Amino acid sequence: MSNTISTDDEVVYACDHHIATITLNRPQRMNTISRTMLEQLTQSLLKADRDPDVRVVILTGTGRAFCAGLDLTEVTKPSEGGISNGTSNATNLDLKQTPPTVLFNMEKPTICALNGSAAGYGLDTALGCDIRIMAKGAKLAAAFTKRGIVPESGGTWFLPRLIGWSKAAELIFTGRTLSADEALSMGLVSTVVEDAEIGARARALAEEIAGNAPLAVQASKRMMRMGLSETFNDHVHHVFLQLLPLLKTEDAREGMLAFMEKRPADFKGR
């Protein structure tokens, strides 16, 4: 099954063999985030999460950058008292349907293929994915405080959990830019690959994940997310409650039969 949005769009969506690939598509602007891109990215993420055929999502970009942050030509328009954010009353902002929130709440596993550098909003978006693979020539720029703002899209939540308080504080307070090797040593990415290999390596990982029982993968992600705010005893109880319905699925039976018969499993997501 395959379907693709027009390449004229600022976000391109394609689905093939249970893998949805969502591509930021403003290479002439280093994939900076416009209001149009925000809407299209949200809709693409929701589409992938709702599609029962999709088992894994790859998020990447076209051109030499993954995402260089917000489009400053849109957000730096003068307004009374500061910078325009496109709304007259910030207290009315609805963040439930914005990419960081949608990305965090997705059931499907997500892989960020950092084809190029990520800065600001682009860095936060990458951090919101479950797994990050980074091209050797790419960089991560946490340049928020250098621009007079905070990591507005999840960075202050993700970074202390990913690399610990001290390293996160140093990175955020200095606004430092990291090379791929530095990002790997800090644990911000899983793998660093040659630039030309980023697409193939992300696809290979996605295929490996997609070959497993999708309901079990999604339940595992759900439990990991819940575990971030639960005690151990509460978490073990919730994991057991997730296990009971999984044991009744066709996929659980297929997985056990495949193991006993020493053959690859053929999971259906049922």
pLDDT at 151 exceeding the cut of 90:
no
The lowest-confidence range among 74-78, 86-90, 99-103 is 86-90
pLDDT at 47 exceeding the cut of 90:
yes
Predicted pLDDT at 77 = 54
Predicted pLDDT at 93 = 60
Predicted pLDDT at 80 = 45
Give phi and psi for 83, each to the nearest 5.
-105, 140
Predicted pLDDT at 146 = 80
What predicted TM-score, i.e. pTM, was given to this entire model? 0.86
Report whether 13 contacts 3 (CB < 8 A): yes
Rounded to whole angstroms, the Cα distance separating 259 from 267 reads 13
pLDDT at 131 exceeding the cut of 90:
yes
CA-wise closest residue to 59 among 21, 29, 25: 21
Question: Which pLDDT band, with edges at 50, 70 and 90, does 152 fall under?
Answer: confident
pLDDT at 51 exceeding the cut of 50:
yes
For 181-231, what is each residue's pLDDT tens digit? Answer: 999 999 999 999 999 999 999 999 999 999 999 999 999 999 999 999 999
**Mean pLDDT computed over every residue of the chain:** 88
